[in-house]
Amino acid sequence: MRYAAVSALSHPGLLRERNEDSLVIGPWTLCATVTESSQTLVFPLGTPLVVAVADGLGGQPGGDVASALVARRMASIGPALSGEDAVRDALNACNRAVYEAGGGEGGDLATMGTTVAGIVVQPDSLTVFNVGDSRVFAAAPDGLRQVSVDDSPPLEQGRHTTHLVTQCLGGTLAYRAVHPHVTTVPLSAGDRYLICTDGLTDPVPQHVLDEVIREHDDGRAAFELWKAAIAAAGPDNVTLAVVRVADT
């Protein structure tokens, strides 16, 4: 039998008063959580398994509400997400749900929004999805490779990151449709993936992420990745999951 082991943690970082990130692993969610050690869950693969992060928009009200709403919705419908169309439909439904929960113009949470990025794991295939700038990486033999697509404006010369996003779930007064990035790839035993919010990728260069993934097993890698973000001043909430697929 094939299974997936997921090692994850979520932390507010050193500068934020609260954690507006959320995490979904199968039926489990972590919302506005503080963890300082990785937790590992193991799932036999059969029905679709969703692993995803959601990063509430900073500077807007209700980022934690938006990310938690999306995480819980993805957890509840995860077993039905078989195929790219089902994933797109789910993300579009999440987008509408965030707008409805915001209450429209005049509501206290009218402009709340969140990014989302993750994977749907099945025995022989894996579907990558995202809206916004949270990321999914594959641990390829030639190095860590980003397989999500950033919804960000072009970088200014000399900068390697930006806090701006060109689309997210919610985030504006009037409803705006989204165009999720969704792609499916074959899956083999031994494949590893990293799913994370920009609280990890903004302060920590990709070559450092690659070194940590190469040098450590899953649970330790998740912890060392968090430590790297904290050592780089921990400027934002940090939420990440390391996923490994294996055969028993």
Q: Quote the pLDDT of residue 58.
A: 84
Whether the pLDDT of residue 159 is over 70: the answer is: no
Q: Quote the pLDDT of residue 163.
A: 67
pLDDT bucket at 156, cuts 50 / 70 / 90: low
The pTM (predicted TM-score) of the whole model is 0.95
Q: Quote the pLDDT of residue 160.
A: 52
Q: Quote the pLDDT of residue 47.
A: 96
Average pLDDT over residues 104-110: 81
DSSP string across 67-120: HHHHHHHHHHHGGG--SHHHHHHHHHHHHHHHHHHHTSTTSTTTT-EEEEEEEE
Question: What architecture is domain 2-153+161-247?
Answer: 4-Layer Sandwich (3.60)
Q: Which of 202, 213, 184, 188 is nearest to 119 (CA)?
A: 184
What residue ranges do the domains of the chain occupy? 2-153+161-247
DSSP letter at 61 equals T
Whether the pLDDT of residue 140 is over 80: the answer is: yes
Whether the pLDDT of residue 158 is over 70: the answer is: no
The Cα–Cα gap between 29 and 98 comes to 17
Range from 138-142, 151-155, 160-164, 179-183 carrying the lowest mean pLDDT: 160-164
Whether the pLDDT of residue 157 is over 70: the answer is: no
Q: Quote the pLDDT of residue 136.
A: 98
Whether the pLDDT of residue 161 is over 70: the answer is: no
Q: What is the pLDDT of residues 32-74, one digit of tens each?
A: 888 888 999 999 999 999 999 999 998 788 999 999 999 999 9
Average pLDDT over residues 182-189: 97
The Cα–Cα gap between 163 and 170 comes to 16
